Amino acid sequence: MTAAQTQRWISLLSVYLPGWLISLAILAAAALLAFFFHRTFMRTVRRLIGSERVFIQSLLSRILGATRFAFVLAAVAIVLPIVPLSNETAVPIAQVLAVCLTLLSGWAALVAIDLAGDFYLRRFKIDVDDNFLARKHVTQVRVLRRVADTIVVMITVAVALMTFPAVRQFGISLIASAGAAGLVVGLAARPVLTNLIAGVQIAITQPIRIGDAVVVENEWGWIEEISGTYVVIQIWDWRRLVVPLSYFLEKPFQNWTRTSSQIIGTTMLWVDYTTPVEDVRAELSTIVKSSKLWDGRVVNLQVTKATEHAIQLRALASARTSQQVWDLRCEIREKLICFLQEHHPGALPKHRTELRSPDGSTVDFESMSAGAHGRPGAPEAM
């Protein structure tokens, strides 16, 4: 049936039925036909694509409702010019249809971006010890996905608004003549744009990744989330530190897992000058080699500092992850202190005091900081 014949039938029906009822019937019939056509069309497309194209099949499943609605809107838009409606009624309906189609297109683009990121990340596992490569790709995909989502939303909203002549004319006038207003808007949007650009830079250069152990603002924790505008750091005591993305491009911070998940832990002990360093070194080797946290790479003990009262021992040991190296450090510290208390109590730090008697002779007293209860020469024995 041609358009002229359709108009003739509508004119005949309008003699017996009101125009709004005819319009509603035509639009409903178009929507119903579009619904059945969509179902047939999707079945045919799925059959032609084949089951081996998993991504496309998953994408079609995710946007099934959106495509059905889009078919209905398109069918209504096609038959809208021939229904007996006035321009005052048909024009707003056409604008609403255009806005809905634009929003559906943007939503489908967001779904495609999200699904593509999920499919790409299926090859990587972040819950393993050696997860450096996985964290790299997870960070890139998550940050770039959020940036892409932001751009898609901005474009979709802009296109939807431009479908209204009044808004479009306002936008053109604003761009053409509102220099001061444009400056104010630019200054207001500066933090958003700064963090958006910082997100792209972080995704490319990757100073931080998901799961990195970092020290920020004197707080130690792990990168838990990288959004489009901020980073969430899980502190060791389960607190959350939220900082803007631009922070990691403008200020210094520590990244303990920048090149590898493996890390060397440091344990410091202050002891007396009489401490048998070789015995402590041998005990450290025994402690570390018997620990399940040690990765078998580094174990060492050195005298790193000497003051007038004590010397400082630095014990080094490596582990596979930052969490394991933290626990290993605590284990080393506890067991070395127990070793000194049991086998070399005189090696614990002391405070020495020299007293001069009236006849000019001197007497030395040693005050033990720990483990000296009841020992000769300690203040309790005086």
Question: What radius of gyration do the chain's Cα atoms show?
Answer: 37
Domain with CATH 3.30.70.100 in the chain: 263-347
Total Cβ atoms within 10 A of residue 1: 7
> Any idea which of 64-78, 157-171, 333-347, 366-380 has the lowest mean pLDDT?
366-380
Amino acid 137: pLDDT: 79
CATH 2.30.30.60 residue ranges for the chain? 128-259
CA distance 334 to 306: 22
Chain centre distance of CA 363:
64
160 C-beta neighbours (distance < 10 Å), count = 19
Give the CATH architecture of domain 128-259: Roll (2.30)
pLDDT at 166: 61
Q: Which percentage of the chain shows pLDDT scores above 90?
A: 21
As a whole number, mean pLDDT of residues 144-157 equals: 84
With cut-offs at 50, 70 and 90, classify the pLDDT of residue 335: very high
For range 294-311, the mean pLDDT: 92
How high is the pLDDT of residue 374? 36
Lowest mean pLDDT among 19-33, 40-54, 55-69: 19-33
Q: Is the pLDDT of residue 122 over 90?
A: no
Question: Strand, helix or coil at 303?
Answer: strand
For residue 329, the model assigns a pLDDT of 94
Q: Average pLDDT of 89-110?
A: 83
The answer to whether 114 touches 48, Cβ cutoff 8 Å, is no
Burial class (CB in 10 A: 0-12, 13-18, 19+), 135: buried
Note the residue count of the chain.
382
Q: Describe the crossing of helices 132-162 and 165-177 by its angle, rounded to 10 degrees.
A: 110
What letter does residue 292 receive in the DSSP assignment? T
CA distance 28 to 209: 52
Express each pLDDT in 155-198 by its tens digit.
888 788 777 766 565 544 444 444 444 444 444 455 666 767 77
Residue whose tokens read 């402590």? 280
Which residue, among 184, 158, 186, 183, has the nearest Cα to 172 in the 3D structure? 158
- Greatest mean pLDDT range, 113-122, 191-200, 286-295: 286-295
Residue 168, token pair as written in the block: 């479009």
Who contacts 157 (Cβ-Cβ below 8 Å, separation ≥6)?
106
How many whole angstroms separate alpha carbon 320 and alpha carbon 139?
20
- Which option is the CATH number for 263-347: 3.30.360.10, 1.20.58.390, 3.30.70.100, 1.10.150.120? 3.30.70.100
pLDDT (average), residues 262-279: 91
Phi, psi of 353 (to 5 degrees): -130, 135
